[in-house]
Each structure stands twice: as C-alpha cells, then as structure tokens.
Amino acid sequence: MATTGSEQGFMHWWRERSAWKRARLEGRHLVRESRRILRKKSYRIAEPISALVSAQADAVEEALKGQDLERVRKAIAALDDSMEEHLTFARKSTVREYSESIGVAVAIALLLRAFVVEAFQIPSGSMIPTLEVGDHIFVSKFAYGLTIPFTNTKIIQLARPKRGDIIVFKFPGDQSVDYIKRVVGLPGDVIEMRQEELYINGHAVARQRVPRPYHYSDAGHGAGPPEDHEGELWVENLDGHKHETIQEPVRSARDFERKVVPADNVFVMGDNRDNSSDSRVWGTVDLSLIKGKALVVWWSRATADGMSPIDWLKSIRWNRFFQVVE
C-alpha cells in the first residue's frame, strides 16, 4: 500500500527528530568527556593541543544551540577526531563507562537500602485487614534512626516507635527472619487481654465493631493453600491512631496475663488477632531489632502457584497500589 504525502512528511519529521536527539546526546557527552580529560590530565597535555580541543568543544556547544544538524555533526566529528588523535590515553572505553555507571547505580541502591528505604513482602495473613498476603511495601529505615548495616547498632536515634506504628523487625527467635506487626505497648506499659479485649495500663483500648460480616482468605501463613475465614471487623483506637482489627467469633476467647513491657522494648500484635504469632507468644521486641516503619503498599498481588498469565493479571490488586500503611 502506498503511503500518503502526510505519512511521508511525518516519517521525515520523525527521522529528523530522532537524528537531532542522537546528535545532541552525543555532542553533550563528548564535550563533558573532553573537558574532564583537559581538567584531570592537564599536566600531560601540551598547551596547543589543550587549546585546540577546548576550542572544538566550544564549537560543539555553539552548534548545539542552533538547529543546523549538519553543522553539529561536523563539529562533533572534528572534536572526536582530535580526541582520538591526541587524548586516546585518557579516554574511557564503552565497557568502562557502562561499568562505572552500573557501579554508581548499585552503590546508590545499596546505600538507599541500608539507610533510607527497603522493600518488604507480606508473607502471611497476620496483619489482615491492614496488610494482605502478597502486598509489597516500602519500609522507612530512617524513621527511628540510622543503624550500621548488618548490625543492630544504632548510630543515630531520631525517634522511638509510638503506639499504632506498624514496624518491620528482626524476629527475636531468629534474627535472619523479618516480621511485621503493630506496636501496642511501649516500655513500662502493662499489657493484658481479657475476653479478646486489649487492656493497656488497666484501661480497655477503645474500639467499635463494624456491623457487617467480614470474609477473607489468607495463604495459610505463607505455607499451604489459602484458607477462608469469617470474622468480626473492629475499629480500634490506640492513642488517637484508628485502625481495623479482626477477631473470629467461632474461636474461644483467649486471655493474656498481665505483662510489663521491659525497658527499650515494645509489645507488638497482628491486626488479625486470632491468627497472629506475636508478643503474646514469643515476647517483646528489643528496639535494636527494629528495622523501620511501614510506609506504603507499592505493589499487591494475590499469591498462588501455577497461575496462567491471564489469572496472574487478574490477581493484581490495582486498588491497593500506593496505599499508605496506617
């Protein structure tokens, strides 16, 4: 099929635009490289050569200000030829340039992960309804201070966890495993559970039941097939921090005897109160084990093995993208 005049005009415009973009990127890169070499290797470059290369770099910059593609190409070729003839000893190979760029990117990523933010995946249903199995969240490692990487030693203490904060921490029983729970008790607090109600320092935590059934499915705490549950949805208020919790009426009420939270520790619980292994089971969390505070869900997908591509797409929870964790 023959192309129309308008289509040919568009293709010509697109080719010119692409060529100009490539020339602009190449010219800017070449100018940066030439000025870097002249600055760092000036002691090895004769004055006439330095003046020539500097003038040619100026010519490339001047050509880039205009719209004459041919002029830009000639200026780039002249500068490249001079650098190849006189400055080859200092020019970086393509492999070296890519290696350095990748190295810098990796270093920045590692620094961000070590001190600023880290990605974390929710492996179980212990924090439903706030966090679901398959949620991927970002955790602020800067929220409470700076920790020396691969240690529990804090070099800067900025803040301490508050009641209601959702934290990621190293599991006290196996510090190679990360857990995520909600802080309900601070150092010195007296924590107890009576008939499924949480008491702090002798006072029941204010809560209100949502008058509708709540059905959910988890992934069997990270192992085994999903399990269906029916529970009661409650809105709990921890020092003004409102959040939802679940309890299952079919289960017998579990009491938790009074426990005083030790100094420099916090008492944590899952929002899925009857399906959470937390401080009621294995004790409190030392502040030194806390890695950071949950910030936002950036990706969420229901997990299941053997999904077809279509089912995989259907399993994505689009409504949870960039949902703030509270």
Whether 144 and 223 share a structural domain: yes
Whether 76 and 138 share a structural domain: no
Per-residue confidence at 100, pLDDT binned at 50, 70, 90?
Answer: low
Catalytic site residue 126?
A: yes
Position 1 scores a pLDDT of 46
* Cα distance between residue 264 and residue 286, in whole Å: 6
DSSP state at residue 114 = H
The distance between the two most distant Cα atoms of the chain, rounded to a whole number of Å, is 90
Whether 49 and 195 share a structural domain: no
Whether 87 and 121 share a structural domain: no
Q: What is the pLDDT of residues 136-178, one digit of tens each?
A: 999 998 888 777 777 777 777 778 999 999 999 999 999 999 9
Of 305, 301, 319, the C-alpha closest to 121 is: 301
Contact 235, 129 (CB under 8 A): no
Asked, for residue 101, whether it belongs to a domain, the answer is no
Domain boundary among the residues 91, 107, 131 is at 91
Whether 82 and 168 share a structural domain: no
Asked, for residue 104, whether it belongs to a domain, the answer is no
Q: What is the pLDDT of residues 103-148, one digit of tens each?
A: 766 666 666 666 678 889 998 889 999 999 889 999 998 888 777 7
Whether 175 and 296 share a structural domain: yes
pLDDT over 50 at 313, yes or no:
yes
The number of domains in the chain is: 2
Whether 145 and 58 share a structural domain: no
Q: Considering the chain, what percentage of its residues have pLDDT values greater than 90?
A: 35
State the CATH number of the domain containing residue 148. Answer: 2.10.109.10
Average pLDDT score, the chain: 84
* Cα distance between residue 287 and residue 167, in whole Å: 11
Q: What is the pLDDT of residues 267-305, one digit of tens each?
A: 999 999 988 999 999 999 999 999 999 999 998 987 666
B/e letters for 39-75, b = 16+ CB within 10 Å, e = fewer, are: eeeeeebeeebbebbeebbebbeebbeeeeeeebeeb
Asked, for residue 100, whether it belongs to a domain, the answer is no
State the CATH number of the domain containing residue 79. Answer: 1.20.1270.10
Whether 181 and 128 share a structural domain: yes
Of 91, 113, 115, 95, the C-alpha closest to 103 is: 95
Name, in order, each residue with C-beta under 8 angstroms of 240's C-beta and a sequence gap of 6 or more: none
Asked, for residue 235, whether it belongs to a domain, the answer is yes
**167/316: higher pLDDT:** 167
Contact 189, 312 (CB under 8 A): no
Question: Which position has the token pair 């350095």?
Answer: 100
pLDDT over 90 at 41, yes or no:
no
pLDDT over 50 at 221, yes or no:
no
B/e letters for 284-319, b = 16+ CB within 10 Å, e = fewer, are: bbbbebbbbbbeebebbbbeeeeeeeeeeeeeeeee
* Cα distance between residue 59 and residue 41, in whole Å: 21
Catalytic residue among 34, 124, 141, 181: 181
Position 305 scores a pLDDT of 61
Position 13 scores a pLDDT of 79
Position 86 scores a pLDDT of 85
**Model's pTM, two decimal places?**
0.68
Domain encompassing residue 11: 5-91
| Range of lowest pLDDT (53-57, 186-190, 308-312) | 308-312
Name, in order, each residue with C-beta under 8 angstroms of 130's C-beta and a sequence gap of 6 or more: 166, 182, 243, 244, 271, 325, 326
Position 207 scores a pLDDT of 94
Mean pLDDT of 28-53: 88
Of 178, 165, 118, 141, the C-alpha closest to 325 is: 165
pLDDT over 70 at 257, yes or no:
yes
Per-residue confidence at 98, pLDDT binned at 50, 70, 90?
Answer: low
Position 196 scores a pLDDT of 84
Position 84 scores a pLDDT of 85
Mean pLDDT of 260-265: 96
Catalytic residue among 34, 126, 279, 300: 126
DSSP state at residue 188 = T
Whether 221 and 268 share a structural domain: yes
Kindly state the tokens that stand for 255: 């009491």
B/e letters for 243-267, b = 16+ CB within 10 Å, e = fewer, are: bbbbbeeeeeeeeeeebebeeebbb
Position 227 scores a pLDDT of 73
On the 0-12 / 13-18 / 19+ scale of CB atoms within 10 A, 169 is: buried
* Cα distance between residue 185 and residue 289, in whole Å: 16
